[in-house]
């Protein structure tokens, strides 16, 4: 019995040691959290779409109310009053919000770029709406209106009150459109922009991003981006085409993603055209800039990638990722410019210090940078830390880096 107990004790000790050494629980927990976060964004987006339905119903009710007062309005004989009110009605129509709010299928925004055309247009419409309200208030105080009979004044006041409500609904609609800008930003990090996901993580996140046919262009674009990252170009392309065909702030991002897809399919000319069309729509879009940098790396145009990622180091939401991308890029260019090693280490350390808690990829990038600077012991320390946090297939990337460090040979990271 003592012998059996001793064997069991040794076996339990070995299992405990294996469990401590096994890094797979932590990546699994991280993946579960990602799935939960994606499901929450899905739910929020569906609630967001319901808000539009409420706005549409309110708008349609007010339009019906305006039509019902048409007969009373037609009985007003004062030509001056009719002309003034007609001008105001024309201003309301010229806002062109009525047409868009009446369309259930119109797409909300897709990014928070300060140069976003849709945002500028909405601000312009708000200014027009403010001017129109001033004209309406001036008209309601006009002498010509006061000279009309009681019934005519009531008809105009009722119409004025309805138009004010229309303006309020349209203001709410503009706010609703701007609210849509936040959703793609929430999905962005699930597209693996850093190329840090394991194969299992990619597959799990792809399943979570699938909305089962529900209307969700931001999630659809995120899914296409992750499929592109995986190299499944034939699956990514059909997801991109509907987004590209529907003008919205997502259009430029989808076009740049399509440029990556077509490049992966060896359709160089079509890829270049998609890229140019994306740039024409929104050159400063941060997500387009990131994808443009990835495309430039694939085409060995590292100067372009450097320019794009440098621009993103000033954007708080993408700063860390951009610094790490630049660190890997500089680490590959040490033979040409030795001072790039110092740049790589500085950027990798900055990003690593800001990452709490540190991830396998944060340690990995720092190890690559330190290796390029010939700091062997420090590089080994970081690559070991990366391996402890990495899942099995990612450990192979760590092993490849460790071999390059031990052999003191250049290491080429996946850009």
Residue 15 has pLDDT above 70, yes or no: no
> Which of 196-205, 206-215, 311-320, 379-388 shows the lowest mean pLDDT across its residues?
206-215
For residue 97, name the pLDDT band (cuts at 50, 70, 90): very low
**With a threshold of 0.85, does the pTM exceed it?**
no
Q: How far is CA 408 from CA 30, 221, 349, 370, 405, in A?
A: 33, 41, 21, 12, 5
pLDDT of residue 165: 86
Mean pLDDT for 304-312 is: 97
Separation of alpha carbons 22 and 18, rounded Å: 6
Kindly state the percentage of the chain with pLDDT values over 90.
Answer: 55
> Which of 16-30, 159-173, 281-295, 335-349 shows the lowest mean pLDDT across its residues?
16-30
| CATH class for the region spanning 182-299 | mainly alpha
* Residue 75: other Cβ atoms inside 10 A: 9
Q: Quick one: tokens of 294? A: 């990835």
pLDDT of residue 285: 94
- Sorted by where each begins, the domain ranges of the chain are 51-179, 182-299, 313-415
pLDDT tens digit string along 109-160?
Answer: 444 443 444 555 555 555 556 665 665 656 555 556 565 666 767 777 777 7
pLDDT of residue 126: 57
- What's the whole-number average pLDDT of the chain? 82
pLDDT tens digit string along 163-193?
Answer: 778 888 888 887 887 777 789 999 999 999 9
* DSSP secondary structure string for all residues of 267-296: -HHHHHHHHHHHHHH-TT-HHHHHHHHHHH
> Which of 41-55, 86-100, 254-268, 359-373 shows the lowest mean pLDDT across its residues?
86-100
Residue 253 has pLDDT above 90, yes or no: yes
Using CA of residue 323, residue 329, residue 332, residue 337, what is the dihedral sign?
negative
For residue 5, name the pLDDT band (cuts at 50, 70, 90): very low
Q: Quick one: tokens of 82? A: 């009719």
Separation of alpha carbons 127 and 133, rounded Å: 10
Q: Which residues contact 342 (CB under 8 A, 6 or more apart)?
A: 373
| Angle of CA points 270, 276, 277, to nearest 5° | 90
For residue 101, name the pLDDT band (cuts at 50, 70, 90): very low
Closest by alpha carbon to 144, among 76, 214, 54? Answer: 76
Q: Quick one: tokens of 372? A: 């390029």
Q: Decide: 297 and 321 in contact? Cβ < 8 Å.
A: no
* Residue 397: other Cβ atoms inside 10 A: 21
pLDDT of residue 107: 43
For residue 1, name the pLDDT band (cuts at 50, 70, 90): very low
Helix or strand (DSSP H, E) at 112 = none
């Amino acid at each position: 019995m003592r012998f059996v107990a001793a064997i069991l004790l040794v076996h339990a000790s070995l299992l405990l040691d294996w469990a401590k050494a096994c890094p797979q629980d932590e990546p699994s927990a991280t993946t579960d959290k990602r799935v939960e976060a994606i499901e929450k964004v899905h739910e929020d987006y569906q609630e967001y779409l319901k808000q539009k339905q409420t706005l549409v119903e309110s708008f349609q009710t007010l339009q019906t109310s305006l039509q019902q007062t048409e007969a009373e309005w037609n009985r007003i004989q004062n030509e001056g009053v009719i002309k003034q009110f007609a001008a105001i009605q024309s201003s309301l129509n010229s806002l062109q919000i009525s047409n868009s709010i009446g369309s259930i299928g119109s797409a909300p925004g897709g990014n928070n770029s300060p140069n976003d055309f849709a945002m500028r247009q909405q601000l312009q419409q708000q200014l027009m709406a403010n001017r129109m309200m001033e004209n309406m208030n001036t008209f309601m105080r006009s002498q010509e209106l006061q000279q009309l009979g009681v019934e005519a004044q009531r008809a105009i006041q009722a119409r004025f009150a309805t138009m004010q409500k229309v303006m309020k609904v349209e203001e709410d609609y503009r706010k609703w459109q701007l609210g849509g800008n936040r959703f793609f930003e929430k999905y962005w990090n699930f597209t693996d922009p850093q190329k840090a996901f394991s194969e299992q993580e990619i597959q799990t996140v792809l399943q979570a991003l699938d909305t089962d046919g529900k209307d969700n262009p931001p999630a659809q674009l995120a899914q296409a981006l992750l499929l592109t990252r995986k190299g499944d170009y034939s699956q990514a392309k059909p997801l991109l085409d509907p987004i590209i065909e529907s003008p919205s702030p997502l259009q430029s991002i989808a076009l740049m993603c399509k440029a990556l897809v077509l490049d992966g399919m060896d359709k160089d000319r079509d890829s270049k055209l998609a890229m140019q069309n994306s740039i024409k729509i929104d050159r400063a879009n941060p997500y387009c800039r990131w994808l443009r940098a990835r495309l430039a790396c694939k085409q060995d145009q590292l100067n372009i990638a450097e320019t794009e990622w440098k621009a993103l180091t000033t954007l708080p939401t993408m700063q860390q990722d951009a610094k790490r991308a630049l660190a890997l890029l500089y680490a590959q260019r040490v033979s040409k410019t030795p001072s790039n090693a110092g740049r790589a280490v500085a950027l990798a350390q900055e990003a690593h210090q800001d990452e709490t808690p540190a991830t396998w990829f944060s340690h990995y990038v720092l190890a690559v940078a330190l290796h390029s600077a010939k700091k062997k012991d420090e590089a080994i320390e970081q690559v070991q830390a990366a391996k402890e946090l990495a899942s099995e297939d990612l450990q192979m990337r760590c092993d490849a880096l460790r071999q390059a460090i031990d052999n003191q040979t250049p290491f080429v990271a996946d850009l």
